[in-house]
A and B are shown apart, each in its own frame.
Chain A
Amino acid sequence: GNSVTQMEGPVTLSEEAFLTINCTYTATGYPSLFWYVQYPGEGLQLLLKATKADDKGSNKGFEATYRKETTSFHLEKGSVQVSDSAVYFCALSVSGSEKLVFGKGTKLTVNP
């Protein structure tokens, strides 16, 4: 079946530190990959996506590259800010099946 595994949190960083949140997947077919973010008290928002191998999604300084050979879609940011504190979810959808399959989420706290 289809599944997503992401690194367990919580992750605590100081402002301007480098961030990596690991995500690996198992999928039948060729998935599209997503990172969603949930800020405190807000709903889920799409952060970035990639639809095929070697694509790089980017938004708000965050990046993730679709690696088919390692079945990974790790989220990175070079310099985090306090405002990046949130829960981050990796997700996939498989062509022909519209539903999203999510990982368990990783809570990030950035301290000033």
Chain B
Amino acid sequence: GAGVSQTPSNKVTEKGKYVELRCDPISGHTALYWYRQSLGQGPEFLIYFQGTGAADDSGLPNDRFFAVRPEGSVSTLKIQRTERGDSAVYLCATTSREKNEQYFGPGTRLTVT
């Protein structure tokens, strides 16, 4: 079956602009996670959804970052007033209720110029 998909695969934006990154989970997966991976680093947790609600948003770096999952499936990560330091690969992962294994998407590479 289809895995986790993320769009766009690449996004280049100017400093100060607004961006949206989309994650389509594996069908039936109830939990969804966003991570950010900077060059040469491991992924860092941003936010976790169980169904429609954000169960843990402790990793969001500041109030410019926001994520939604209105119908408990697709999620959108939103970044306002982008800064060059936001440049990274943004990863989405999902997991089923039965198996405690996170399946990762290919990521969106965000470059802020």
Contacts and interface: CB of A to CB of B under 8 A. Distances in A.
A11 B105 CA distance: 26
Interface residues on B, range: 20 to 34
27 contacts: A32-B100, A36-B104, A42-B106, A43-B4, A43-B104, A43-B105, A43-B106, A43-B107, A44-B93, A45-B104, A49-B101, A51-B100, A89-B42, A98-B33, A98-B95, A99-B56, A100-B43, A100-B45, A100-B93, A100-B102, A101-B45, A102-B43, A102-B44, A104-B40, A104-B41, A105-B41, A105-B42
B101 A46 contact: yes
B97 to A, nearest CB: 11
A44 B4 CA distance: 11
Interface residues of A, number: 22
Interface in B55-107: 55-56, 59, 91, 93, 95, 100-107
A18 B75 CA distance: 42
A82 to B, nearest CB: 23
Contacts of A105: 40-42
B106 A99 contact: no
A44 B48 contact: no
Given A98-B31, A99-B56, A102-B44, 11 more contacts: A43-B104, A43-B105, A44-B91, A49-B101, A93-B100, A98-B50, A99-B45, A100-B35, A100-B102, A101-B45, A104-B42
Interface in A60-112: 89, 91, 93, 97-105
Interface in A4-22: 4
Contacts of A45: 104
A47 B56 CA distance: 26
Contacts of B56: 97-99
A64 to B, nearest CB: 15
A103 B37 CA distance: 11
Nearest to A107: B40
Given A43-B107, A44-B91, A97-B56, A102 B102 contact: no
